[in-house]
Amino acid sequence: MDMHTVVSGEGAKRGLERVVVGDGRATGVTAADVVAVARRNARIELADEAVAALAASREIVDALAAKPEPVYGVSTGFGALATRHISTELRGRLQRNIVRSHAAGMGPRVEREVVRALMFLRLKTVCSGHTGVRPEVAQTMADVLNAGITPVVHEYGSLGCSGDLAPLSHCALALMGEGDAEGPDGTVRPAGELLAEAGIAPVELREKEGLALLNGTDGMLGMLVMALDDLDTLYKSADVTAALSLEALLGTDKVLAPELHAIRPHPGQAASAANMLAVLKGSGLTGHHQDDAPRVQDAYSVRCAPQVAGAGRDTMAHARLVAERELAAAVDNPVVLPDGRVESNGNFHGAPVAYVLDFLAIAAADLGSIAERRTDRLLDKNRSHGLPPFLADDAGVDSGLMIAQYTQAALVSEMKRLAVPASADSIPSSAMQEDHVSMGWSAARKLRTAVDNLARIVAIELYAATRGIELREGLTPAPASRAAIAAVRSAGVEGPGPDRFLAPDLAAAEAFVRGGALVEAVESVTGPLA
């Protein structure tokens, strides 16, 4: 099981069992549909409207194929070879060849959920009626997904322009009964064998169909949608851990007052401050910042938590807007227009998606960075306002959480490297015909790693903050904090005490955060967080 299958964001809580493609909605599918198919194996059905749109666009392609004039993608070669007119008897071979030659990926296998997302999104575009693909090809795509057959797709091969060509080609290859795929039992076998066992006939591609199956931004879009689902949970979790750290450090919650955030009206900032304030309601630890030594203000990592997390939330809002627009798009080249024209275009360029993927990696890195600074403050006896060094039981004999912070710092350092934009790069391809590319697939791949790291960083802050609160003897934490501590302890994450093998505790804390259990525990007291 890959890491992301255990994440449960808002989209994953909808409990979708069936997704209908092309039922008249503006987008054809929603982000929640993508998550349901990719992560929960929701069953796919084609709406009657989709089948009608497929048939209508295919009639246009068939009519153009019968004409002597060359039409790109229908009766010509591809890319830099588009100048050659292809005769009728060679066109089936042409479509098979583009799939075989473009299925040139290398490296490790891509996660099952990513492959399912990109296949589903390609099916969504095929069903838009702008690609010229026959209804039976679309139905085969749905059948393969419903059978739990997942083509083997490799890490490297997409430049994010002309779409995610190599990844989608490996998927199209499996539809032809060629290449390798993972069966519903998780075993990798020849795709032809898996199709036969599922009673699915391999597709025989006709004019334009090979090109239409591999010319889209579906891989990077699928990873964007799933990253947003993950980050929705992680940003709420980070608001909770920031509040717990504030409590453990005997900070003040006055900086979270709504009127302070209203005069700098960034919506994400206000939401994060409101979440922290809700968690801290009724705390007996906040406001004690003058007890041990004069402290006019808390450190930036505590006081500015809503500003940093809020900026990330606003970045997510922009990324969702881009994702929604892309979900409403029909990305192919050429496209079939309602008036019967088949026109070349550049809509396959991944720049809009690539930019926000990179933007999210920057925001996630900064959220991880500020969380690590709060953890370090909790462990430093000179800055923790009375907590024992490294939150150790018997400092000197015990090292406490000293090396947990090392691990957290290593994760933050990697996140900073992952925040370097992929979309700022471009390497020309196809004999300079495709002379500017987006690198959006690369941006998506590194964002997935960043999201994984962020979950670990937040988990370590949770581990330190809950221990810090429990070490504040004689002071009563907020009801929501008590609920969080009780839940994380029930999940197998131990509290204060002598040193022990720490890695299992951290792994349990990570699973607790990643699965949304921290948010659920707090919301049982606060109600829904923003």
Contact between 154 and 161 under an 8 Å Cβ cutoff? The reply is: no
The whole-angstrom distance between residue 528's C-alpha and the CA centroid of its chain comes to 22
Look up residue 71 and give its amino acid.
Answer: V
CA distance 489 to 470: 12
Report how far residue 192's alpha carbon sits from residue 179's, in angstroms, rounded to the nearest whole number: 8
Cross-strand pairs, 156? 106
Taking the C-alpha atoms of residue 60 and residue 52, their distance in angstroms, rounded to an integer, is 13
* C-alpha span between 507 and 390 (Å, rounded): 19
Q: At what angle do helices 479-490 and 267-280 cross, to 10 degrees?
A: 80
513 Rama class: left (phi>0) / alpha (psi -120 to 50) / beta: alpha
Q: Which residue spans within 105-200 are E strands per DSSP? A: 106-109, 150-151, 154-156, 180-182, 188-190
43-46 and 18-21 strand pairing: parallel
Catalytic annotation, pick one of 72, 156, 235, 463 = 72
C-beta separation of 115 from 171 below 8 A: yes
Sign of the Cα pseudo-torsion (48, 53, 55, 56, in order) = positive
Quick check: is 235 catalytic?
A: no
Q: In angstroms, rounded to a whole number, what is the distance separating the alpha carbons of residues 143 and 148?
A: 9
User: How many whole angstroms separate alpha carbon 64 and alpha carbon 75?
Assistant: 9
What are the phi and psi torsion angles at 337 (to 5°)? -95, 155
Residues 477 and 485: beta-carbon distance below 8 Å: yes
Measured at the alpha carbon of residue 331, what is the angle toward residues 326 and 335, in degrees to the nearest 5?
145
The answer to whether residues 236 and 275 touch, using CB atoms and an 8 Å cutoff, is: yes
Q: How far is CA 168 from CA 96, 98, 153, 157, 174, in A?
A: 14, 11, 8, 10, 10
The Cα 222–Cα 444 span in angstroms is 9
The Cα–Cα gap between 437 and 184 comes to: 35
- 106 forms beta bridges with 156
Cβ neighbours of 393 (radius 10 Å)? 15
Residue 87 is encoded by which pair of tokens? Answer: 């005769």
Phi/psi of residue 209, nearest 5 degrees? -70, -40
Q: What angle do CA 195, 224, 218 make, to 5 degrees?
A: 40
Does residue 496 contact residue 442 with C-beta atoms inside 8 Å? no
d(CA 113, CA 235): 22
Catalytic positions, please?
72
